[in-house]
Structure 1
């Protein structure tokens, strides 16, 4: 079901895309296309009169590009949000990372199909879940920029550390003790693994600079993204973080104080080295899981194989439930599981399912997650 009615302004310098996106949005229940604009300058002139809730915003445009429009929204219309429409290029990837940091809700890729009907179907497939999610829990450029998280009622520190007591109900989540036969946690964690999706680049850009350069363990991350964009994300985070952040490469050994981001369009797992003492990254073309490639479930399973009782697993903002099955295996093998709280998620999807299944040990707002990670490894 679609949620609240929303007004959308379609901004693109190509008439074909303006028409295609407008047609697709016009078919969706609860969506009103209030106007179109063929560049950013015209878009900002229409925002005051049309009062849209959301822009679909081309990144590369003459006169005023998508980045400049987002900067305008920050200053003059922080109640408006934006879904970026990007190209699969290195420059497009870098600009999209900048857009997400400026508070864009998410992005979609311009279709690669030459046939107009195929292109429209690709756009429809990409846009529909984003619009549905936006309708259920709107997030504005202003909200993402403020970076504030409301405290959970009844907790003095703004987060919940869950005790292993059967069926403890906190808020709307039900948390249960681990089942009999699971492995125990063996002291401090020796690896951190993170699964994240919608809202992820912005969340990682806030959380990861809080981690010290001498964390002492490697971090392996699945952020749902297409090829090229994961490299742009890694480069952007590497500039901000004390840790080294890079797009993972096939065959490289895991090193402490390095964060490895799974390449878009590939799967990433851990394997043993030939000498059996080191762990290597393996990049594969294995099929998608939960329609995701890379998939958090795929990565989490392999971490569980090699770090029994010595893993910190973090599940953060994102649509869907990728990661839940992998967290179940990690939990059975003694992992500490940290989930982002509902209040600070752009989309409370990926952390919701494991919390309701009792897999989460700590529920924390975005600004407390780094402290929980440090506590688990130091």
Structure 2
């Protein structure tokens, strides 16, 4: 059994104890060490070489943000931010991920007496998935490297696929783009969304797993530097070309055809306790596939689990198109892997090639 060492960084002895007890609930995880501030964290990362780090944001002497920047300079260990502050200022969480953090969690969600078991389980599973992926990268244990030559071949394969004209243009194949992602998603989205041109002719709907309250801040942040208008999706929104919609956390977002022929969004609470993710990529894709049929493109980026698998199955059932992110650029190769191994992906490419692959369709 593979085991992964976690460095716990927090200025509170009580928090370090609670976080440590939480981590060691999973037999595959163990506390490799502790640090009381950012300065100690930098020293311990180099000395202990943990598989993953949990980092508090607010600490004396050196805060978590500063320590994160320094750690990213000296090694590639994944860092997950834990904080009580991000619920008040989600911009802190997004700033941390821009600096290199792979994910963030609110301490209140994990360490309170009434913490939901599914949330705690999800946290531990993410720790293991991120650590496993990072160790695999450091050991060079990839099953297949995708170089520029193989990427060119895969893109050429798309050009030869049914329904796509190579001359004079390959565009205008789809009328809607849906992007699904989870762990590592905000950084992946930042490598993609800002680079859509102002003349993009299709709506873009993003399904990103996040805590409630964060998707509005995410949309507002992207709206400041994207060429396209970005907003958090609201119940009753009509999909408009050249606009990016971020599905709100805590709800399920589905599509429906209005009497006037336009497509609208329903944003509703989900009462199905079996559905862990709110929003769920599966639920959104399942509603979109019968509406757009072969005119739908689904893109599955980094993320843990298999949300998107059943949705992509529906997309392909209606002759739509699917792109997935390749293993070597994923923070966690879970969601894309599930779709790829099920034979549902038209193409699998690393993150730097995702945008060009999308542009073949839109």
Q: Same fold (TM over 0.5)?
A: yes
Q: 1:74 to 1:290 in 2, by over 3 A?
A: same
Q: 1:110 aligns with which of 87, 90, 107?
A: 107
Aligned residues of 2:185 and 2:303 also touching (Cα < 8 A): yes
Do the aligned partners of 1:269 and 1:303 also contact (CA within 8 Å) in 2? yes
Distance in 2 of aligned mates of 1:324 and 1:9 = 33
Query: For 1:255-303, what per-residue CA distance to the aligned partner results, in whole angstroms no more than 9, with x for missing partners?
Result: 1111101111111111233x42221121100235641110001110121
1:64, distance to aligned residue in structure 2 (A): 2.5
Who is 1:13 aligned against? 11
Cα distance in 2 for partners of 1:139, 1:213 equals 40
> What residue number does 1:277 align with?
261
Instruction: Tell me the SS of whatever aligns to 2:190.
Output: helix
SS of equivalent to 1:193: strand
When residues 25 and 364 of structure 1 are mapped into structure 2, their CA distance, relative to the original with a 3 A threshold, is same
Residue 176 (structure 2) aligned to one of 162, 184, 191? 191
Does the 8 Å CA contact 1:86/1:92 hold for their aligned counterparts?
Answer: no
1:232 aligns with 2:217: yes
Deviations 1:295-325 (A, max 9, x none): 0011101211321221111111111111111
1:151 aligned onto 2:130:
no
Work out the CA distance in 2 between the residues paired with 1:39 and 1:61: 6
1:287 correspondence with 2:271: yes
Q: Judging changes above 3 Å, is the alpha-carbon distance between structure 1 residues 375 and 153 closer, same or farther for their aligned structure 2 residues?
A: closer
Equivalent in the alignment of 1:55: 53
Is residue 51–residue 131 contact of structure 2 (8 Å, CA) maintained in 1?
Answer: no
Trace 1:67-216 onto structure 2 (pairs within 5 A): 67-75=65-73, 77-87=74-84, 89=86, 91-112=88-109, 116=113, 118-119=114-115, 124-138=120-134, 151-152=146-147, 155=150, 157=152, 159=154, 188-216=173-201
Q: Greater relative contact order: 1 or 2 (C-alpha under 8 angstroms, separation 6 or more)? A: 1
Equivalent pairs, count: 347
SS at match of 1:314: strand
Q: Deviations over 1:142-173 (max 9, x none)?
A: 9xxxxxx95349616274665799xxxxxxxx
What SS class does the counterpart of residue 373 from structure 1 fall into? helix
8 Å contact 1:8–1:54 — kept in the other structure? yes
Give the whole-Å Cα distance in 2 for the aligned partners of 1:33 and 1:261.
36
- 1:183 aligns with none
* Residue 115 of structure 1: how far off its partner (Å): 5.6
What is the aligned partner in structure 2 of residue 343 from structure 1? 328
Partner of 1:169: none
TM-score between both structures, scaled by the size of structure 2: 0.85
Q: Check conservation: 1:70, 1:102, Cα contact below 8 A.
A: yes
Measure how far apart 1:191 and its partner are. 0.8
Distance 1:164 1:248 in 2: 33
Distance 1:160 1:152, change over 3 A: farther
Please identify, of 59-68 and 251-260, the stretch whose mean Cα deviation from structure 2 is larger.
59-68
Which stretches in structure 2 are left out of the alignment for 5+ residues? 139-143, 163-170
CA RMSD of the aligned region, Å? 3.0
What is the TM-score normalised by the length of structure 1? 0.82
Bigger CA drift: 304-313 or 216-225? 304-313
Q: Could you tell me whether the CA contact under 8 Å between 1:158 and 1:365 is conserved in 2?
A: no
Alignment partners' CA distance in 2, 1:271 and 1:158: 37
CA distance in 2, matches of 1:337, 1:122: 29
What is the CA distance between 1:112 and its match in structure 2? 4.6
More helix by proportion, 1 or 2? 2
The 3 A distance-change label for structure 1 pair 88 and 291 is farther
Say if 2:304 and 2:333, in contact at 8 Å, map to a contact too: yes
Structure 1 pair 369–120 and aligned structure 2 pair: CA distance change class (3 A): closer
Extract unaligned runs of 5+ from structure 1: 143-148, 166-176, 178-185
Deviation at 1:26, TM superposition (A): 3.3
